[in-house]
Structure 1
Amino acid sequence: MKASKGSGGRELKTRVKTGKNRSLSSKLWLERQLNDPYVARAKREGFRSRAVYKLAEIDDKAKFLKPGARVVDLGAAPGGWSQLAAQRVRAIDGKGRVVAIDILDMDPVPGVDFMVLDFLDPAAPDILKERLGGGADVVLSDMAANATGHRKTDHLKIVALVEAAAVFAAEVLKPGGAFLAKVLQGGTEGDLLAMLKRDFATVKHVKPAASRQDSAELYVLATGFRGGNAS
């Protein structure tokens, strides 16, 4: 691979050659990563993924990651969202708490209590509340189902995953809590939105600048959990 320069000395995009063991799709993905300013920024600032800037932008506006808050991060690996959450709720200082779970292992993150755990496990809500020392103020989910390449199928899979995460959130959130989850653009999330509008005071879609513009990725942010009135 190499980075070329224009006639004025300006750095141009890094180009990746397609080798014997590298498919075109792999080449394009790697090229995109190497030229992504958020990937470079994450490396420079010590974050584990570019996704941290999506959460940062959403929280800068909604301000749900408050000092002292208790946070659950679902599907946390590689840990970028957990890193930012721990900083903003001041878990490193012992003020807030961040409990992160994933079915995959993850390297330790300062201020984060990590467990290898499937949030679909019936025991998961009680386990997490015990680790948090009570109910959660925020439930985060940047999870995505394994892609099939078929857009409608992938959309249905991720909506089902987010619906399960929303049900989980209703079991662990305290009244007034917030739920943020990744979804995909599509026309079949009506049931999900109806569920969230029943359980939360405010529900809206957001697309942060760090989310690639050519991606169908969106985030749904639900705030003001109704607690005992929720299903």
Structure 2
Amino acid sequence: MNKKSSGSGTVPTGRQTAVRVKTAKRRSVSSARWLERQLNDPYVAEAKKRGYRSRAAFKLLQLDEKFGFLKRGQRVVDLGAAPGGWAQVAVEKGAAKVIGIDLLEVEPVPGATIIQMDFLAPDAPDRLKELLGGEADIVMSDMAANTTGHPPTDHLRIMGLAEAAYAYAEEVLAPGGVFICKLFKGGAEKELSDALKRNFATVRNAKPAASRADSAESYIVAIGFRGGEQAADKA
């Protein structure tokens, strides 16, 4: 486990020399372009410098810088936790408990408990609740389905994950809690947004600077959970 540097802030510091990657026998043009983008991405370099698992850590840091939802002593659930950058940030910000889940194996994150399991499996929500041992202050989801290259299909697939994440959040969030979720633009997000606006005091959409400009991803941040429609129906 790399130790974090003393760097602070939510944007990369310093300058780096551009790297060019050529195609080779076993490397396609597309893979060469991907590798070149990674090698020249200032957030990738900054993540390595600070000991974060991935550049995605800066997305959460920038969302928190904008909305101020991460506080000491919180209980946090991290859906789609691999490779562990968001869990690292939550621990770094002083969370009392961080519970994560992902289909992929995640190298242990000190201060967090991360299980390898499909969040959509029938017993996954109960397993997370058992590990959490009470209500959550934050449920955050950076889950994304494998892309197909067909934007409408990819949009619907990630919306399915977002809706599943919110259904879980409704069950475990404490009053005043926070829900953060990755979305892909495409039109079907309005229904989720409307539900969040009914159940949270504040709902905002944001695209952090660390999210690549050519990516369709954005994040929805809902703050001030009121108890949810299910709770209202039971009242």
Match of 2:167 in 1: 167
Q: Which amino acid aligns with 2:141?
A: S
Match of 1:179 in 2: 179
Residues matched between the structures, number: 217
Match of 1:59 in 2: 64
Q: Say whether the 8 Å CA contact 1:200–1:225 is kept in structure 2.
A: yes
Q: Helix, strand or coil: the match of 1:15?
A: coil
Q: Helix, strand or coil: the match of 1:104?
A: coil
Once the two structures are superposed, what CA deviation does each residue of 1:47-68 show, in whole Å capped at 9, x if it has no partner? 0000000100111221211100
Q: Say whether the 8 Å CA contact 1:72–1:139 is kept in structure 2.
A: yes
Higher mean C-alpha deviation, range 165-174 or range 190-199: 190-199
TM-score (norm 1): 0.89
> Considering only CA atoms, is the larger Rg found in Structure 1 or Structure 2?
1
Alignment of 1:104-119 (within 5 A): 104-119=104-119
> CA separation in 2, counterparts of 1:70 and 1:139?
9
Q: 1:21 aligns with which of 8, 16, 26?
A: 26
Q: Which amino acid aligns with 2:78?
A: D
Match of 1:210 in 2: 210
> CA separation in 2, counterparts of 1:138 and 1:122?
22
Q: 4+ runs of 1 displaced by more than 4 Å?
A: 228-231
In structure 1, runs of 5+ residues without a counterpart are: 1-9
Q: Helix, strand or coil: the match of 2:183?
A: strand
Q: Which amino acid aligns with 2:221?
A: L
> CA separation in 1, counterparts of 2:147 and 2:104?
17
Match of 2:55 in 1: 50
> CA separation in 2, counterparts of 1:47 and 1:11?
18
Match of 1:152 in 2: 152
Q: Say whether the 8 Å CA contact 1:129–1:136 is kept in structure 2.
A: no
Q: Helix, strand or coil: the match of 2:18?
A: strand
Verify: 1:141 aligned to 2:141, yes or no.
yes
Q: Say whether the 8 Å CA contact 1:182–1:218 is kept in structure 2.
A: yes
> CA separation in 2, counterparts of 1:166 and 1:36?
32
User: What's the CA shift for 1:229?
Assistant: 4.6
User: What's the CA shift for 1:11?
Assistant: 6.5
Q: Which amino acid aligns with 2:166?
A: A
Q: Say whether the 8 Å CA contact 1:16–1:30 is kept in structure 2.
A: yes
> CA separation in 1, counterparts of 2:170 and 2:69?
17
Match of 2:97 in 1: 97
In structure 2, runs of 5+ residues without a counterpart are: 1-14
Once the two structures are superposed, what CA deviation does each residue of 1:68-94 show, in whole Å capped at 9, x if it has no partner? 000000010100000001111x24xxx
Match of 1:7 in 2: none
Verify: 1:85 aligned to 2:90, yes or no.
yes
CA RMSD of aligned residues (A): 1.6
TM-score (norm 2): 0.87
User: What's the CA shift for 1:230?
Assistant: 4.4
- Tell me: CA distance 1:69–1:215, structure 2 relative to 1, closer, same or farther (3 Å): same
Higher-strand-fraction structure: 1
> CA separation in 1, counterparts of 2:125 and 2:135?
9
Identical amino acids, percent of aligned pairs:
60
